[in-house]
Amino acid sequence: QVQLVESGGGLVQAGGSLTLSCAASTTRPTLHTMGWYRQSPGKQRELVAGITWGGSTNYANSVKGRFTISRDNAKNTVYLQMNSLKPEDTAVYYCNFRRNGINTWGQGTQVTVSS
């Protein structure tokens, strides 16, 4: 069973930066996709960014050019560098690990951007 440990959330002013990280505990670190989703009150959880084992990435249009996802396969860790943060980026951010069609979610980390 995969377990995910997230870190890096917090409070930041608009225009600031934060980096989220998510470490996956797995004895079979191959071919899984990792990513970040977010959910704010009253809204559905949405994809922020994803990255495949091979390093292909995709981003929500709202974060393109501001957020960068990366991964360290040796450490089974995915990172989300968030720059030029906006108040509308405020949400709980969830790490996602997907392998063989099975999703595992982190516990979530709060990101709050003040105006």
The pLDDT assigned to 15 comes to: 98
d(CA 58, CA 26): 24
SS3 89: helix
pLDDT digits (tens, 9 = 90+) for 23-72: 999 777 567 899 999 999 999 999 999 999 899 999 999 999 999 999 99
The pLDDT assigned to 68 comes to: 98
pLDDT band of residue 7 (cuts 50, 70, 90) is very high
The pLDDT assigned to 73 comes to: 87
Q: Which residues contact 21 (CB under 8 A, 6 or more apart)?
A: 6, 7, 8, 77, 78, 79, 80
d(CA 23, CA 71): 10
pLDDT digits (tens, 9 = 90+) for 64-91: 999 999 999 888 899 999 999 999 999 9
The pLDDT assigned to 56 comes to: 96
d(CA 6, CA 20): 7
Which single residue is written with the structure tokens 């392998």?
99
The pLDDT assigned to 29 comes to: 58
